[in-house]
Structure 1
């Protein structure tokens, strides 16, 4: 059974039409227009030149490095983001409010400042960085430092997507499961995880998109060594600086397309899953009204 269609809205007034037109124009000016212009410039020399530029060794190396960083950052921040959201919502301890406020620091500070903070703490001249280098584990100007930069700038995304859902559903079901003898893992796997799965999916997707597009922090901590520590966004920067704009257009189109396609696919899967679940619930009890909780996106 499909969800009921919304009631037909009354005829729009002129102020409403003006507001919709203004919003669409603003969206086109800031988002749609630049995106179309970018794709047009990337494809202007032809599809063959597009793929030839993308197949150059430096471009492939930068994409591969970006993929490795994105994968590591997404896995780590998804796991720890779920844990932090549960701790902040379910637990009460001294310093919780401070932790909740400081968690948004990556949203507030420039990524360049984030990279500088990592250099101060983990750079080759710092106490921690020098000792790790002596142990054969250099951080800054190497892959570990780039992963740390990605972890820093994306830390709040999963937490802020999952925490509102946990707050909304409460802990009653978890407490009942615990009373009935379920251990914490069974409770998490069968009750908590299904409840927050779309929050996790949205948060993880935002982490991927943010990691693909990160520039400032990586520029500071990587050293931007071609073929070694140059990510896709740093490749775009170098192409612009080298007066090779077509390479920058091509790589930018690929990165933007990956992020946009992933978010669109996620939304499509979520809507399809919701329709299936809604139909199953309605077939069992038509009087039940399903409530969907969407994660709050904070940037």
Structure 2
């Protein structure tokens, strides 16, 4: 007669096997490549890393990346909160269609997004030509890069705020209006404090996507060195030109940003 302990051991084997499989998958697909990049970055010491990251080209790439990320987060925060309030608090014709369109950037390739922006805002496109006449260059400049990053990160703030708004309800907002509070006062004192953690979570996700975006930005930027080159484009350009120190140093900087972002996401993620 088999003992209960033996039966329990047999039952737990598949569980441990699945855990080992998942852990091995993550180690070889994610952890090992990142560790190797870090090792290649610092194998020559800290000096070459600092030299690579303080070069004029690297500093320009950092600056362009931060500018694009800032305007992307700002635009998507305003848009995300407004659309989330519209979808949760209002009923209107086309609401279901709008709710579906919000997720469109998740299904469209970033390269396609960049190409579409060129077809609309390029120098020889009707809209782009008109803007060029007004002295506004969109493609191969910062505005086009911001538009590309805004598009690919469009749903992140909206989808982070909507569940929080639904859970919050509108009872407190209605009570505030009954007591004489205006719309802006209610929004500032009731709505924003109620959604602040969900909003922060969506903002961090949007920031991470904007900092690491490559495909759409690569198409519309023109990859002009020290003009429209982001950090991801800098990594590719340096690696293709056999400057491995600079490429690995910038890649490590991006990886560190990703780790910090991951920690913030874990902290800010709404409970439940």
TM-score w.r.t. length of structure 2: 0.91
Cα shift at 1:175: 2.0
Q: 1:89 to 1:293 in 2, by over 3 A?
A: farther
Cα shift at 1:30: 2.3
In the alignment, which residue of structure 2 is the partner of 1:213?
212
1:109-188 equivalence runs, <5 A: 109-188=108-187
Cα shift at 1:23: 2.6
In 1: Cα distance, 2:179 partner to 2:30 partner: 52
Instruction: Please give the per-residue CA displacement for 1:94-119, whole angstroms capped at 9, x wherever unaligned.
Output: 11111111111111111110001111
Cα shift at 1:131: 0.8
Cα shift at 1:140: 0.6
Cα shift at 1:225: 0.8
Cα shift at 1:13: 3.4
TM-score w.r.t. length of structure 1: 0.83
Cα shift at 1:196: 1.0
Matched, 1:28 2:46: no
Pairs aligned (count): 264
- Mark the runs of 5 or more structure 2 residues left unpaired by the alignment: 1-8
In 2: Cα distance, 1:266 partner to 1:23 partner: 22
The answer to whether the 8 Å contact 1:145/1:221 transfers is yes
The answer to whether the 8 Å contact 1:124/1:130 transfers is yes
Cα shift at 1:125: 0.9
Instruction: Please give the per-residue CA displacement for 1:214-270, whole angstroms capped at 9, x wherever unaligned.
Output: 1111111011111111111111111122122332111111012123213314644x4
Aligned-pair Cα RMSD in Å: 2.0
Cα shift at 1:76: 1.3
The answer to whether the 8 Å contact 2:204/2:264 transfers is no
In the alignment, which residue of structure 1 is the partner of 2:227?
228
Cα shift at 1:180: 2.6
1:13-24 equivalence runs, <5 A: 13-24=12-23
Instruction: Please give the per-residue CA displacement for 1:175-228, whole angstroms capped at 9, x wherever unaligned.
Output: 222223221122222221112111111111111111111111111101111111
1:2-81 equivalence runs, <5 A: 13-81=12-80
Cα shift at 1:64: 0.8
Matched, 1:240 2:247: no
Instruction: Please give the per-residue CA displacement for 1:15-69, whole angstroms capped at 9, x wherever unaligned.
Output: 3333333332222222222211111111112111111111111111111111111
In 1: Cα distance, 2:264 partner to 2:137 partner: 38
The SS at the match of 1:173 is: helix
The SS at the match of 2:139 is: coil
